[in-house]
Amino acid sequence: MKDRPPLTPSSPWGRPTPRSAGVVEKKFGPLTVILGGDHGRYPHCNSLFVDDEIKTVIDPGCSVRALKALEEKHRVHRVIFSHYHEDHTRCARLFPDSEMYVHEADLAGVRTVDGLLEMYGVSIDLDEKLWLNALVNGLMLTDLPQTEPLTEQSLSFGRVTAEMIHTPGHTPGHVCFLFPEQDLVFSADIDLDRFGPYYGDEVSNLSEVLTSIEKLREIRPKILVTGHVAGIVTEKVDEKIIAYREIVFEREKRIFEALSEPLSLDGLAARHPIYKKKVEPYTIYRKIERNMIRQHLLRLTAEGKVEQVGADLFIQR
């Protein structure tokens, strides 16, 4: 990382440094789902351990304590990231001797923290300080320059095999993992969270999010393991995915209805159609909300439901 200006001491996310309490493990044959601390809420995530010839951790973000214990017991050979977000990569530093892999479209966001900030679209000084403080001081995130691109769609761990399913949108290189023998999909941040899908990075893409959700539905897995709170889902899987997708259309309806009068992107963001309220730290969430609204405006204008009038004003057609 480059030299940085001094950072503020407290976490701008308003959350304490992650603790390791509350971790639950569940086995599916050679697969162990490690549900993250605080029910997998950010900055934790759920991790998957493949106990096979090539011992592998997917998304090392569940808990420092649990992952340290795993490394001591098994000596992990390989770490795979579903995408570049810090809550899925933050404990990778515990596996310095492991091979590390991510989809090539997300490679830059894992290899360096600077690359991560770039993919978030952080460019303003103040934002950069806030985000860096949260990432580096709060989460102890490090550069992972040894990370290599996942080149094969089929992954072999020894006896266990998995298919990497490219599900872009949340990030360009977001992937899910299908374990056919266990009829289990690790769906990472297609997470069925009550908030709904996230597409707030500079490089996120809402149309791709919707296509990726359909791709996941087509697999019809018996067991869905999400990256966060929903965790292990075995009942009404498709219904739950549909309800999650529906949140996108509810947001779009709020944006469309607000455009009965001409509004700019900032004007729309001030109405909080995504978060429904002002969320602190506002410099960060304002950027995310603007990015997400922009994705909806792209869809609405492409579908001819909304038109742009003037430099930065939008209105219903």
The three-state secondary structure class of 153 is coil
Is 33 within 8 Å of 232 (Cβ atoms)?
yes
Q: Rounded to the nearest whole angstrom, what is the least distance from the CB of residue 39 to Zn ion in the complex? A: 16
Q: Examine residue 287 and tell whether it contacts Zn ion (CB under 5 A).
A: no
Q: Rounded to the nearest whole angstrom, what is the least distance from the CB of residue 189 to Zn ion in the complex? A: 4
The three-state secondary structure class of 63 is coil
Is 206 within 8 Å of 296 (Cβ atoms)?
yes
Is 83 within 8 Å of 110 (Cβ atoms)?
no
CA distance 28 to 234: 13
Of 37 and 254, nearer to Zn ion (C-beta) is 37
Q: Examine residue 189 and tell whether it contacts Zn ion (CB under 5 A).
A: yes
Q: Examine residue 254 and tell whether it contacts Zn ion (CB under 5 A).
A: no
Q: In the bound complex, which residue of the shown chain has the CB atom lying closest to Zn ion?
A: 85
Q: Which helix (H) or strand (E) holds 217?
A: helix 206-219
Q: Examine residue 106 and tell whether it contacts Zn ion (CB under 5 A).
A: no
Q: Examine residue 85 and tell whether it contacts Zn ion (CB under 5 A).
A: yes
Of 268 and 288, nearer to Zn ion (C-beta) is 288
Q: Rounded to the nearest whole angstrom, what is the least distance from the CB of residue 107 to Zn ion in the complex? A: 15
- Binding segment for Zn ion (CB under 5 A), chosen from 40-48, 96-104, 135-143, 182-190, is 182-190
Is 116 within 8 Å of 135 (Cβ atoms)?
yes
Q: Residue 163 pairs with which residues in a beta bridge?
A: 154, 178
Residues that bind Zn ion (CB under 5 A): 85, 189
